[in-house]
Amino acid sequence: MAGGASSVDSLNDIVRDGAVRLAPTRRSLRLPRPSGRVGVVVGLVLLLGVGLTTSTWRAHLFGGDPGGIVLRELSPVAGAVPSGSTVVYSSKNDAVWSPACPDSGGRAGWSGVEVLTTFKTMDASQTVVDAVGTSLAAQGWTPTRPVDDAAWQFIPVAEWTKTLLGTTSAKVVVFQYPQNGSPSPGTPGSAWMLGAEGKTSGYALPGC
């Protein structure tokens, strides 16, 4: 029978010498493995990225001034303004988180905790410094050599420091405004700034 012979021939093509010959299967597509050196570089880049992200997250989570403790500790500094002075501006600013500015080389971080008081007085410069120093000494502040660290609008003429819980550093400065840049020009007397700043964990100036 022609149909039977064809079937036998087909079977003989598949079964030979007792072994079953399976039809060929399509090979799976296999991508070449990266070399060991490339794998190491990729791994380091991933670890670095995770490390930076974790570091920023930790600073954001645990830094700053939770509960406003540092701000409360610095607030009495505003009371060191010499008696008889006229306060023209006063502010209390807690730590604020700032993200890193893109493409600036800066880094994310917390601003300092600040208590700022601008006042005007008819007293002489040394009288102002002595009066402020006496009040601050009663609060536990210690006089130190003033440093021009570009953190203030003008160079401080006097500076004090103190160890405060929750800060990495804390200081108070006082400086006088020039006559041509005096705030509240309608108020008689010379203008001064009494400023306190506490730097907390995660402090950083945005690099914008």
Give the confidence band of 77 by pLDDT, cuts at 50, 70, 90: very high
pLDDT mean over 67-74: 96
**CA–CA distance, 59 with 56 (Å, rounded to integer):** 5
| pLDDT score of 117 | 98
Relative to beta strand 19-20, strand 15-16 is antiparallel
**CA–CA distance, 56 with 99 (Å, rounded to integer):** 9
Mean pLDDT estimate for the chain: 77
170 neighbors 164 (Cβ within 8 angstroms): yes
Question: pLDDT tens digit string along 85-110?
Answer: 999 999 999 999 888 776 666 678 89
Question: pLDDT tens digit string along 22-36?
Answer: 344 444 434 444 455
120 neighbors 185 (Cβ within 8 angstroms): no
For the chain, which residues make up each domain, given as ranges?
A: 64-199
Secondary structure letter of residue 83 according to DSSP: T
